[in-house]
Structure 1
Amino acid sequence: MTRFRQQALVAALALASSAPALATDSVQHTSELSVMGVYIEPDSDRTDEYGSAVRVIYGLRLDQNWWVEPQFLTGVMETGQSLATDYYHQELGADISYRLFGDSQFTPFVLAGGGLSRNDVANDRSKEFAGYANVGLGLLSSPFTESGMRLRGDARYLFDTFSDDYSDIHFSLGITVPLGVTRRQIVEKVTVIERPVIVESERVVELADSDNDGVVDGVDQCPNTLEGLEVDAVGCVKTDQEQSVVLRGVTFEFNSNRLTANARDILNRAADALKGQDDLNVELAGHTDNVGAEAYNQQLSQKRADAVREYLLEMGVNASQMTAVGYGESQPIRSNDTEEGRERNRRVEFNVISQ
């Protein structure tokens, strides 16, 4: 007996266990501040001239699409009389707005609300305060700074109960700056493969398994396989059966098909896996959530799948190994009723095509 060497135990069983892994954060603005210049087309019974004002809006998010917007406006309407005092006007109130596409880059919205109005008319201080109600349509541009600053414009019909009741039209344009931020951490379950070890005389020797597929490097003929795919005895992805894995972390810039820097790092590993196994053919499948028009989502998912394929081609992958298909919103894996579900549905899959 050679000091337990003949009694060495080979613990080569791969023990699969579930462990939590942190996915990418979901960042969402919870409040914002808008400062806007306003052109006023007054009721003809009020004046035949025009008016101008400044509107300040504090927006507070209620959910993905709904916002409450307290606001203050102060301005002046021309009287057209050279010796007369101008017609001063203020509003303090709140609107409820609905943004059709949530946090999409280009966001139309509708609003309705009301509040208190003050009308300071020359030589008439008998009834300064009244109430008002307004409805409107507007647009928010895509962010044009890293902080998320956007252009905002809207048109409103305003009914003022001052005096004999007036109906004014307001056209507003200005800047919206995001304030509060909510960062949600998405925690998911992933499969962890414990590495095989050899127990030798009270000593544990760990055998390297660089791609964590359960086949040690000395035996592995495909050393760069993606985690989550089933491999054969020599560590190559089984191509006699259909398999699928989500390329977690492959994301795109807001509402576009431009890959983020983090996505490129992950795709570099996917490129190594494809180049290391010539008989591995895959479908690169793009998916979206259901926010926006179905036809637009279909087109966007195809562009994103094509962008992934183009990047892998640049990394030296054989074109015959890959096809790119966009499925739009047609194959959700979670409910689109929650932000977490929509984020899970926006994904790129690596689907093995069986031989």
Structure 2
Amino acid sequence: MTQFRKQALVAALAMASTAPVFATDSVQHTSELSVMGVYIEPDSDRTDEYGSAARIIYGLRLDQNWWVEPQFTTGVMETGIAGATDFYHQELGADISYRLFGDAEFTPYVLVGGGLSRNDVANDRSKEFAGYANAGLGLLTSPLTESGLRLRADARYLFDTFSDNYSDIQIGLGITVPIGVTRRQIVEKVTVIERPVVVESERVVQLADSDNDGVVDGVDQCPNTLEGLQVNAVGCVDTAEAQSVVLRGVTFEFNSNRLTANARDILNRAADALNGQTDLKVELAGHTDNVGSESYNQQLSQKRADAVREYLIEMGVNAGQMSAVGYGESQPIRSNDTEEGRERNRRVEFNVVSE
């Protein structure tokens, strides 16, 4: 058997980990393309019949709510006279639109704009370029596919200066697809962890600390503690005072309470921590940014906090150890004026309930 020296040297070696945390992509559309079919109710002075048209719109985002939308519309208005005087009508112009809820699930909007119109009456030399102005109300549905495709509908009042001036009603329905996307990913580093090392004789023996809480496994009575929480001398979370840690990486599908695969991996570790200390009680707190209405964000944060609690119960955690509370947009930790700040405000916290 190897003889060890009578004295041992104890040293602390810093072992740095730079593994990236699971972070959600922040996706914001910077431009989009809309294609719509249009039903036209013409001015009665123009014709007593109806019209139809096709419209293509290129949308360019100015900020969270405002868009500028150049567009082209071409169509025909029937006169009811066979083979004679149908009105062929085109519009080339641009609108400014305001979307009430930004990128929220359901987005009503208002628009106003104008441009150049062309009216061409078949079998008639009367061809004229004129001007038009329009105003309208519409809505965009929530995304229907992973690519972001949405349904779009609007109703417009159009004033055309052609001839004696005409006032038409246009009702459009179509699809909108994002074509310009900005992505940002928040990546953080795990904090440096110091592990005790015992030097005996001429070899180094590192004492195992599986959950990196500063208490070696041979002493640790509460294994799998979440990093960031203070523990006592035997490795259990100290509940003498309130403390909190953000469950970084617990994310959800767009505008829903469905957990992503990465979120389940993080919550599996949280389940191990709660199962390893059955007297630990926590509040699962859901938070959002300020995009959308306050009531919508409150409801979404509560649904997401409930989803986390339900998943942990499925992983065997005692339901009595956890409560779920949604705080909506009321407790930001960063400014909502930047995309990075809004990303940090969308979070789930693991709040220890003090005894």
TM-score, normalized by the shorter chain, greater than 0.5: yes
Does residue 319 in structure 1 map to residue 319 in structure 2? yes
Matched with 1:79 is 79
CA shift at 1:161, angstroms?
Answer: 1.5
The one-letter code sitting in structure 2 at the alignment partner of 1:175 is: I
1:340, distance to aligned residue in structure 2 (A): 2.2
| DSSP 3-state at the match of 1:194 | strand
Deviations along 1:92-148, whole A, 9 cap, x unmatched? 111122222121221111112111111112354455211111111111111111211
CA distance in 2, matches of 1:80, 1:252: 55
Deviations 1:218-253 (A, max 9, x none): 322222111111111222111111000111121222
* 3-state DSSP of counterpart to 1:211: coil
Cα deviation for residue 19 of structure 1 reads 7.1
Contact 2:147 2:178 in 1 (8 A): yes
Name the SS for the 1:275 alignment partner: helix
Q: How many residues align?
A: 353
- Give distance in 2, aligned partners of 1:64 and 1:254: 17
Deviation, structure 1 residue 16: 10
What corresponds to 2:41 in structure 1? 41
290-299 vs 159-168, which deviates more?
290-299
Q: Deviations over 1:173-226 (max 9, x none)?
A: 111111122111224465331333234566554433222222222322222111
Q: What SS does the aligned partner of 1:179 have?
A: strand
- CA spacing shift, 1:82–1:333, aligned 2, 3 Å: same
Q: Matches of 1:199 and 1:160 in 2, distance apart?
A: 89
Show the counterpart of 1:173: 173
- The question of whether the paired residues in 1 share the 8 Å contact of 2:120 and 2:126 is answered with no
Counterpart check, 1:230 vs 2:207:
no
**For residue 301 of structure 2, what is the aligned residue in structure 1?**
301
With normalisation by structure 2, the TM-score equals 0.92
- Whether the 8 Å CA contact 2:79–2:85 is kept in 1: the answer is yes
Q: 2: distance between equivalents of 1:345 and 1:82?
A: 63
Distance 1:79 1:5 in 2: 108
Deviations 1:140-171 (A, max 9, x none): 11111121111111111111121222111111
Q: Is the 8 A contact 1:97 1:111 kept in 2?
A: yes
The answer (yes or no) to whether the contact 2:198–2:204 under 8 Å persists in 1 is yes
Kindly indicate whether residue 105 of structure 2 is the aligned counterpart of residue 116 of structure 1.
Answer: no
Counterparts in 2 of 1:1-355, with a 5 A limit?
5-6=5-6, 8-12=8-12, 21=20, 23-188=23-188, 191-200=191-200, 203-355=203-355
Q: Work out whether residues 284 and 309 of structure 1, in 8 Å CA contact, stay in contact via their aligned partners in 2.
A: yes
Please tell me the residue identity of whatever aligns with 1:72.
F
| Contact 1:131 1:161 survives alignment (8 Å) | yes
- Secondary structure of the corresponding residue to residue 30 of structure 1: strand
Within 1, Cα distance between the matches of 2:94 and 2:205? 68
Residues 191, 228 of structure 1: 8 Å contact kept: no
Verify the 8 A CA contact 2:84 2:123 in the aligned structure 1.
no
Amino acid at match of 1:106: F
Mapped contact 2:197–2:206 kept (Cα < 8 A): yes
Q: Supply the distance in 1 between the matched residues of 2:134 and 2:3 (Cα, whole angstroms).
A: 90
Residue 31 of structure 2 contacts residue 61 of structure 2 at CA under 8 Å; is this kept in 1?
yes
1:28 Cα offset (Å): 1.9
> How far has the Cα of 1:76 moved from its partner?
0.5
Q: For the residues of structure 2 that align with 1:116 and 1:322, how far apart are their CA atoms?
A: 63
State the identity as a percent.
86
Mapped partners of 1:296, 1:181: distance in 2: 25
Counterpart residue type for residue 133 of structure 1: A
Q: Distance in 2 between matches of 1:5 and 1:49?
A: 105
Gaps of 5+ in 1: none
**What's the CA shift for 1:8?**
4.0
- TM-score scaled by structure 1? 0.92
Question: 2: CA distance between counterparts of 1:65 and 1:137?
Answer: 15
Change (3 A) 1:11 1:39: same
Partners of 1:104 and 1:254 within 8 A in 2: no
CA distance in 2, matches of 1:200, 1:179: 64
Distance 1:139 1:202, change over 3 A: farther
Cα separation, 1, equivalents of 2:19 and 2:243: 22
Q: How many Å apart are 1:40 and its aligned residue? A: 0.7
Q: Which amino acid aligns with 2:269?
A: R
Indicate the larger mover: 300-309 or 50-59.
Answer: 300-309
- Cα shift at 1:4: 8.3
